Amino acid sequence: MTPVLLMALFLTAAPADYHQLEADAEKAASQNTYVEAYKLYGAALDAARQAVGQNHPDVARLLSRVALIMELQGDVTAPEPLYQRAIQILEAPALGSPVELATVLELYAGLLNKQLKVTEAEKLRDRARPIRARHIREMLARIPPPAITAPALKIGGGVSAPVMISKVEPKYTPVAKLAKLQGSVLVTIVIGVDGAARNIEVQRGIGLGLDEQAVEALLQWKFQPGTKDGQPVAVKANVEINFRLL
């Protein structure tokens, strides 16, 4: 058999690249061409099952995206077993995909809200919140501590508020953009004497990775620190990060 024929047979038998199909589906969905996005996500799901097996986290992710596209087309019944299967896959201890599990729980909660099953939806969000919180703690643990530490003071009583010098806008995650999620993340921070945000804590999140994106953005903000008696001091403040789709 000639090398050319061997290569032709290999290409014919090779499974489709499900990552590329998923990227194409995301692009189609961003253009609101949901019928095309549904076809592409379905093809990506089939290819992933062939490539990595029925119980892989990537299969769970694609199941949830197919379900979400169904929702965006107005179907609030058929997506439910897809979300349930995705959660079942991601709950397997050996898979180690807790952040994706949180995402699917949040997506499923959104579907249950549309079905007016508010209590059931909140139970799913209650399961997702500690996963998000743990992920954010892990993110922040990788940040070097400040060279100078000082107790944080409240604004007022002779303590001036910090002044923003530069700001980085948070990015949307693909799944949050696909789900058309909008809202505000409320965060408590300490602005150190070096003008950097520290001790970041999410007080009210909205999920689908936007809490983490809010934290990532805050870590890049720069402030002129607050002062007391003319000296820079660490100040505790609340910050609201808004996510709006144009």
pTM for the whole structure = 0.87
Res. 61: pLDDT tops 80? yes
User: Quick one: which of 197, 194, 241 has its CA closest to 220?
Assistant: 197
* CA–CA distance, 120 with 126 (Å, rounded to integer): 10
Q: Residue 14: its pLDDT value, please?
A: 47
**Model confidence pLDDT, tens digit, residues 116-143:** 999 999 999 999 999 999 999 999 988 8
So where are the chain's domains?
3-139, 147-243
CATH class of 3-139: mainly alpha
**Model confidence pLDDT, tens digit, residues 189-232:** 999 888 999 889 999 999 999 999 999 999 999 999 999 988 99
SS3 160: coil
186 bridge partner residues: 204, 240
Res. 74: pLDDT tops 90? yes
Query: How many CB atoms sit inside 10 A of residue 210's CB?
Result: 25
Architecture of domain 147-243: 2-Layer Sandwich (3.30)
* CA–CA distance, 246 with 244 (Å, rounded to integer): 6
